[in-house]
């Protein structure tokens, strides 16, 4: 016959069991940290290594950061971005190797969930069905993608852009010519030629549009004359400096054998130097034309000092990496970064934190380049870049030890 356990003993046994459970080490209830992915073109340029270190220093305190370098290969970058997503990186900072090829790869592709949502949605009225659904905002696809330094084009999933305003670049180049030639109170005509970069790149279109906001009214008024007649972007865009030199040679032979050329607006410093080389050997006019550039490259800065190039644009990236990291941290915390600016990337209007270039010319290079420490002046009077980081004009930094670097 089984012996019954007294009720008091049973209660004590239960109490001991509860006490034993309570004395066990509590499980760690700390939720896993959010992951942020960073995809950069390469680790051979100081700019990207420095930017990566700056972003890592800011983000690693609160997030797990996965860094990838694409070896300047767009296909590799696309694969790495997919890998970052699979690792759980809901927020990504992407400096595109090729903004044009990356855009379609990141664009939203409707799936079964969209069909299911459409079937469960209430029927719309005829007026609602005829109204466009597109509201200009990026598609919410579950990931927060920040385009860094280069706006990713034709992509509806880009949530934010941190970089330069290409429109402002063209505007500043044209305004320099407007001011130097006193176009606003001159009768003219002044002769001008235009050299932009070709390719399906929205940045080229922005730069062209910014320049033509000023130049077009003078062209329409006859104050400015494009001797070649090539003032559409499709006509005046070139692939590289060699193509620019060939086009400039042809223009001189066709349009300026007995006409002075007053100004040449060049997209960047490399194009500008190519153009000035042609002018030295092939231009027969009385006054050397005003030549604009962009990039503040060392050779072009010295060309400004010698009077060969008229101006360039300083694209100071200082603080850009920090801004991108702040935007990523906000997205990862569920907060949309506040901004009043945006850029159309061909698919959507992308909210943006914009940085603006500055005009550099003979009258202000000491203030902008020497006093800020971007360049130093040698004994012979020439200028030398103070660091290798010509895009950012900040001292190079070594990547943090804990940074994960992968290059395929």
- Is the pLDDT confidence value at 2 over 90? no
Same-domain check for residues 170 and 238: yes
In a domain, 186, yes or no: yes
Prediction pTM value:
0.79
pLDDT at 135 > cutoff 50 = no
Q: With 80 as the cut, is the pLDDT of residue 119 above it?
A: no
pLDDT exceeds cutoff 80 at 104? yes
124 belongs to a structural domain: no
Q: Residue 233's closest CA among 216, 246, 255?
A: 216
Q: Do the domain assignments include residue 284?
A: yes
Looking at the structure, tell me whether residues 82 and 179 fall in a common domain: no
Residue 213: give its domain's CATH number. 3.40.50.2300
Omega into 199 within 30° of 0, i.e. cis? Answer: no
Instruction: Classify residue 122: in a domain, yes or no.
Output: no
210 and 141 in a common domain: no
pLDDT per position as a tens digit, 177-227: 999 999 999 888 999 999 999 876 788 899 999 999 999 999 999 999 999
**What domain range is 307 assigned to?**
166-314+359-385
Q: Compute how many other C-beta atoms are within 10 angstroms of the C-beta atom of residue 399.
A: 18
Tell me: do 379 and 249 sit in the same domain.
Answer: yes
Interatomic CA distance for residues 117 and 63, integer angstroms: 33
Q: 239 and 148, same structural domain?
A: no
Residue 152 lies in a domain: yes
What rounded mean pLDDT belongs to the chain? Answer: 84
- Looking at the 3D structure of the chain, how many domains does it have? 2
Task: Specify if 15 maps to a domain.
Answer: no
Q: Do 258 and 364 fall into the same domain?
A: yes
- Do the domain assignments include residue 371? yes
Same domain, 196 and 305: yes
* Domain-embedded: residue 408: no
Residue 140 shares a structural domain with residue 67:
yes
Output the CA–CA distances (angstroms, integers) from residue 360 to 13, 173, 209, 364, in the order listed.
85, 10, 21, 6
Residue 155 and residue 297 in one domain: no
Residues 142 and 49 in one domain: yes
352 vs 146: CA distance, rounded Å: 9
252 shares its domain with 276: yes
Asked if residue 191 and residue 265 are part of one domain, the reply reads yes
């Amino acid at each position: 016959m089984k012996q019954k356990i007294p009720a008091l003993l049973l209660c004590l046994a239960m109490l001991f069991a509860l006490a034993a459970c309570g004395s066990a080490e509590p499980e760690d209830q700390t939720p896993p940290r959010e992951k942020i992915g960073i995809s950069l073109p390469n680790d051979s340029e100081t700019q990207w290594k420095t930017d990566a270190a700056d972003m890592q220093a800011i983000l690693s305190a609160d997030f797990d950061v996965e860094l990838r370098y694409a070896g300047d290969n767009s296909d590799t970058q696309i694969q790495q971005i997919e890998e970052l997503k699979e690792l759980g990186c809901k927020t990504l900072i992407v400096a595109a190797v090729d903004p044009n090829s990356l855009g379609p790869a990141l664009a939203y592709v409707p799936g079964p969930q969209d069909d299911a949502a459409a079937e469960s949605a209430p029927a719309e009225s005829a007026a609602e069905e005829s109204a466009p659904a597109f509201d200009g905002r990026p598609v919410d696809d579950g990931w927060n993608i920040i385009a860094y330094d280069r706006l990713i084009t034709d992509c509806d999933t880009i949530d934010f852009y941190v970089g330069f305003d290409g429109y402002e670049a063209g505007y500043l180049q044209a305004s320099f010519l407007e001011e130097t030639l006193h176009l606003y109170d001159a009768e003219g005509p002044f002769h001008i030629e235009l050299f932009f970069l070709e390719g399906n790149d929205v940045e080229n279109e922005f730069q062209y549009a910014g320049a033509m906001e000023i130049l077009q009214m003078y062209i329409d008024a006859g104050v400015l004359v494009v001797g070649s007649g090539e003032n559409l972007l499709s006509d005046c865009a070139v692939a590289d400096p060699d193509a620019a030199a060939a086009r400039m040679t042809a223009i001189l032979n066709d349009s300026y054998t007995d006409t002075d050329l007053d100004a040449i607006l060049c997209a960047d410093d490399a194009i500008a130097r190519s153009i000035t080389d042609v002018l030295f050997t092939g231009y027969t006019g009385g006054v050397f034309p005003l030549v604009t550039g962009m990039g503040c490259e060392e050779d072009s800065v010295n060309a400004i000092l010698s009077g060969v190039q008229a101006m360039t644009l300083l694209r100071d990236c200082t603080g850009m990496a920090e801004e991108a990291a702040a935007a990523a941290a906000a997205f990862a915390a569920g907060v949309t970064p506040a901004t009043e600016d945006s850029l159309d990337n061909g698919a959507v209007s992308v909210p943006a934190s914009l940085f603006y270039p500055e005009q550099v010319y003979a009258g202000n290079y000491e203030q902008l380049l020497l006093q800020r420490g971007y360049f130093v002046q040698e004994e012979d009077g020439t200028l030398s870049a103070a660091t290798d980081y010509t895009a950012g004009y900040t001292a190079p930094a070594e990547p943090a030890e804990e940074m994960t670097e992968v290059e395929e």
